[in-house]
Every structure is written in structure tokens, then in C-alpha cells.
Structure 1
């Protein structure tokens, strides 16, 4: 028999549903509310089956032991270092391994922006289990959520808990665990661009370093970072230019060179096309 809770040493907070409905109508918390959260150590016989979907996303982090989860897409194994992300409105079930029960940190979240956020991050029932690159950071954020939820259910506490939950969701959306060789190569290429902003580097050169064809490299880069290689490089260069314009009295030609542009007139045109003003006018603007 599976049990939902009641494990020695557990921590758990369930927000009263009238308070959830109230929070979902209030400024700030209407975007995101943590409705339930907890910590289950060595949760022997733990499990839940929700054939009738709930309207919260369920996030479960396994830090020890193992278990499983199931959606309409199939059954998925869960081990230490994995996170389960189950979107709202979908039937699902999950449970601990009988021989090696898991230890979990978990939370449920709801809010009007949640479905769009999960969709943009690719968090669907088809791929509910991910490997975390930094389990400790994610667990620390769930611990922060739990701390504030245990404190009280005032709007102030719910706002702080929601802030930690948004941070957690953002990390989950952008997280990519190490070990994917191609993704690691793309990361290294991006770091190479960051380390060599003032140098002339083209896609073919980066592709050769990654031992990929230029077309394949370009496709992988855009998929991973959301921008084509040269557009990403331009963003890096313009960030360097803005920093130098804001913090130094360097001549525009020297700023251009430091940002990777041998031709200061071309640099000025590029800068204006992105910022709407020339480098000189940008420097003269009040900031801070």
C-alpha cells in the first residue's frame, strides 16, 4: 500500500485552499503561489496516484534513494539527482522504490503565468524527469520556500516563497546537466566567444573547434542559446562597448577596437542600429 505522507522527520506545509484562492486573486501572488511543500526523508512506501488532475504543477527533487513516476507518456525511473516536473491538468502517479526508498524535497505551485512558463521551458508530461546539474542549489531554494511557508501564511511570506519558487523554476528551465558531449562543446564555443570578444572569429572556426560541420554547429548553437552565433557574438560585443562607454573616457575608436570592431564607422552604425543612438549620444545619456 502506498502512503502520501507520515514519514519520521518529515516537514510539510499545505496552504488552506480558501487561502490559495485568495492569493491567486491578489497582486503579486496571482502570478505564482506555492500551495504545498515539504521534505520527506527515506519515504518508505511513499506514493500518489492522481487520476483526476490537479491544477498545480508538482516538482519533486530526489536527493537519495530512487523511485518512479508515470504519465500518459509512460513510466520513468527516478534516481538521486533527478527532478520530476509534472505540469498541472495532467493525470500522473509516482512512488518510492520499495528496496531503496527515496528522500524528497517537493513543492506544488499554481498561478496565471505558470502554464506559459512551463511550456516555454519544455516542461511537459512527455519528459517529466530531468537530471540536475546543481542539486544543492535547487534544494536550498525549496528549503527557503518551506521556511517561509512554515513561518505563516501572510501575503508577505507567500510573496517571498513565490520569489524563491520563481528562482527555482527559472533554474530548472535553463538547467542542463553535464555529460551531453555536443552540448558541452557548444557551451565551450560560447565561452570561447566570451573570452575573445575583440578577436575576429567566424562560425567555421568555432565549428572546427567543436569538431562539427558549420551548419550542424550553427543549428545546435541556436537551439541551445536561442540566437544565431553571430547575433550572440554581437550581443557580447555591444555589452563590452556599453561597459566601456559607461565607465571610461576612451575614444570611440578605441572602444570599437576593444569590442572587436576594426572599423569604428561600422561599429557606430551597428551600435546605433541596436541602441537607437550613436555611441557618443549613448555616453552622454544619464544612467544609474
Structure 2
């Protein structure tokens, strides 16, 4: 794993006019995710409005110009950013074409890793490179996935479906309801159910069940938990329900699957 040097990383908020500019070109990589409010940034030679969900990627040599004008009725702008360099950053960047701007769906897994990087960097010693490098690599790979997913969500209906999928993946082990999934995207239950099925060819409930069964398989193979505990940990509730779903999908009971390992 090639090393990555994190020069700066933080979650910033601006309630006053602010400008950050590298008129002669960057000397490192900048990755920035707008999470609240609005700003403007130079994207491929043109100043564009940047809103929540906009991921910005810049490489050394790019002209960088970020502007926040709180006088436009937008009282603040909030973002995560990382400013870094090193052979690992270069390796990641050169793996594929990098769009300067991509609208990504809300992704708690990505921001959770970003928060860990920020916390590590805030240490008095500036953070341990042996910890920061794998954390940043995790972030970069999650960014790649988010950008790939954004191609699925290129239309408003697809974007809503992608947000629902992320929400289901994050909460499948909980007592998830259709009402919760619909509320997360601001849709009615009937619209959310129809849109998800149209986009992915599977119902919300069936997708959640697949995720829960996949987690149950992993626990059966790698944990000493009892079958009742696995049912609870995977979000399937009672063992009777777990047993029925497992047999329907795999043609055997969970206990038989575990004994056959």
C-alpha cells in the first residue's frame, strides 16, 4: 500500500464570505465534499454553483478557486476536505479518469471514514502515518464506489432509489420499516416501493432480507454465536423466521449449513 501524506483534513463550516484560491496551480491533491449550504468553485474553467452532495476532485497543477458568499441568503457552507500528496494519492488518481465534479448520494460510510481521518489528523503529533495511510485508502476506494454509484443515480428517480439502497444497507440489521425508508427520501411509501422495484428489480423488503441473510451466513461461518443470537444480530428477529427464510433460500436449515462447514 503506497504511502499517503495528509497535509490537511477537516470538516469546515463558513458563516462569513470566504475565498480559497491557488491561481498558479495546486501542489497537492484536493478532495472536497459539500455537505451543507452552497458555494461556488472553478470547475473545468467555469465558476459553478456547488451544493450538498457535490464531490470535487483536483490534482496538482489544477487551478483552484473556491468562493463562499454568505450574503446570497446562504448563511453557511459546510464541507469535508482532504489536502494530500504522496505516491498513494498519485497511484489512486492514475487508476482512472477523474471527474472534477460528481453529485453523489448521501453516504454515511464514506463520511464516517472521513471523520476518522479528521480525528487522527487533529492529534498533537499530526496523526500516525501508519494509521492515516490505510484510512485514506479506504476513503479513496469508497469515493470510487460513490462515483460509480452516481452513474446509476443520474436521473432524479434513480438518485432517490440509490439513496434508499444506501439507507437499507446501513440499517438492514435493525427493525427497518417501509415508512422509514420512504421518509428518508421524502417520498410516499407507495412511490418509494414502486421506484425501488423499478430501479433494481427487487422489492425493498426482499433486498433487506438478502442483506440480512448474507450477514447471517457470515456469522454462521465465522462466529460462535448461537442460532438465536445470529437471527437477532442479522436483523431477522426470531429464530423461527430466520429458519424459514434460510431454508427457502438455501434448501437447508441454518444449523445444517453450520454443521456442513
Scaled by the length of structure 2, the TM-score of the pair is: 0.53
Report matched runs for 1:34-73 at 5 Å.
34-73=6-45
Alpha-carbon distance in structure 2 between the residues aligned to 1:86 and 1:31: 19
Aligned to 1:102: 77
Aligned to 2:154: 180
Residue among 37, 47, 55 paired with 1:83: 55
Aligned pairs, number: 164
Scaled by the length of structure 1, the TM-score of the pair is: 0.48
Q: Which runs of 5+ in 1 are unaligned?
A: 1-27, 189-209, 211-246, 248-288
Report matched runs for 1:133-212 at 5 Å.
133-153=105-125, 157-175=128-146, 176-177=149-150, 178-180=152-154
Structure possessing the higher relative contact order (Cα contacts under 8 Å, 6 or more residues apart): 2
Shift of 1:152: 3.6
Aligned to 1:274: none
Q: 1:121–1:153: structure 2 CA closer, same or farther, 3 Å change rule?
A: farther
Q: Which has the larger radius of gyration?
A: 1
Alpha-carbon distance in structure 2 between the residues aligned to 1:75 and 1:95: 9
Q: 1:69–1:152: structure 2 CA closer, same or farther, 3 Å change rule?
A: same
- Contact 1:69-1:94 within 8 A present in 2 as well: yes
* Runs of 4+ that moved beyond 6 A: none
Q: 1:39–1:149: structure 2 CA closer, same or farther, 3 Å change rule?
A: same
| Aligned-pair Cα RMSD in Å | 3.6
